């Protein structure tokens, strides 16, 4: 039984809560392998382009390695959501750069996605339905119970969403001026350098906020308990007839 399979109750220890949080974040964000799959295509693109300034070769190599990572996950029967998201991101970048003939446009779809995601985190936090809670609720088996039944976790999810939004907004504030002023290789290397550190900071802050929050309410366990109670009532009623 993994830490995600452990029931979470009011008696859950602080260590168990931290373990559940760590496992949920690892599952939701893909862990080390997910980070590698996120960084590698862009790193390959900028490396090749730095050497020979060949847009087509750089783009094809980046797309090829993204596809290989998906195939590897399929062969290993592993989850492919992170690898697939990487393929789509690279594919959009390749198509856009090929259409415009500007190598910097390989990075533009990803930059726009980052900006849009930052705004989504901030807007949903302001609206009282923080995006990080919508993402992690099913992983914690609490679904949306945190919205009405667990105010401490709602507050933690709101803080985490603000953290993600502001961090990604800061990243966008660095990258977009470089898109206009820097050349392709400068933009590419800065973007590669900014792939992991902001992500790790956001994940760490999310872990801090959630580790200090009340444990999640396992709504799946509650439903199973209600079903068992209903079956027992029916069995008792049948026995009494």
d(CA 29, CA 25): 6
Cα distances from 5 to residues 14, 22, 115, 205, 229, in angstroms, run 16, 13, 35, 24, 21
* pTM attached to this predicted model: 0.81
Sequence-ordered list of residues with C-beta below 8 angstroms from that of 129, at least 6 positions apart, any chain: 147
Ordered per-residue pLDDT tens for the chain, 241 residues = 334 444 444 444 556 666 667 777 776 676 777 778 888 888 999 999 999 998 989 999 999 988 888 888 778 776 666 666 677 888 889 999 989 989 999 999 999 999 999 999 999 999 999 999 999 988 888 889 999 999 999 999 999 999 999 999 999 999 999 999 999 999 999 999 998 899 989 999 999 999 889 888 888 777 777 777 777 677 666 666 5
Q: Supply the DSSP string of 197-225, one letter for each residue.
A: HHHHHHHHHHHHHHHTSPPPP-HHHHHHH
């Amino acid at each position: 039984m993994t830490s995600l399979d452990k029931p979470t109750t009011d008696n859950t220890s602080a260590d168990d809560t931290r373990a559940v949080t760590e496992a949920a974040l690892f599952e939701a964000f893909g862990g080390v392998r997910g980070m590698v799959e996120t960084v590698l295509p862009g790193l390959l693109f900028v490396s090749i382009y730095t050497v020979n300034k060949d847009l087509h070769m750089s783009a094809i190599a980046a797309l090829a390695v993204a596809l290989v990572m998906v195939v590897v996950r399929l062969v290993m029967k592993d989850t492919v959501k992170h690898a697939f998201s990487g393929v789509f991101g690279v594919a959009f970048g390749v198509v856009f750069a090929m259409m415009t003939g500007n190598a910097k446009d390989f990075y533009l779809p990803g930059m726009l996605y980052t900006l849009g995601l930052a705004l989504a985190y901030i807007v949903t936090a302001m609206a009282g339905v923080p995006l990080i809670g919508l993402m992690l609720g099913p992983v914690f088996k609490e679904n949306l119970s945190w919205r009405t039944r667990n105010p401490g976790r709602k507050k933690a999810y709101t803080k985490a969403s603000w953290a993600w939004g502001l961090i990604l907004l800061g990243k966008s504030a660095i990258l977009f001026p470089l898109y206009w002023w820097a050349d392709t290789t400068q933009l590419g290397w800065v973007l590669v350098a900014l792939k992991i550190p902001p992500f790790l900071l956001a994940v760490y802050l999310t872990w801090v906020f959630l580790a200090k929050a009340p444990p999640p309410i396992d709504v799946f366990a509650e439903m199973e308990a209600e079903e068992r109670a209903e079956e027992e009532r029916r069995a008792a009623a049948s026995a009494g007839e």
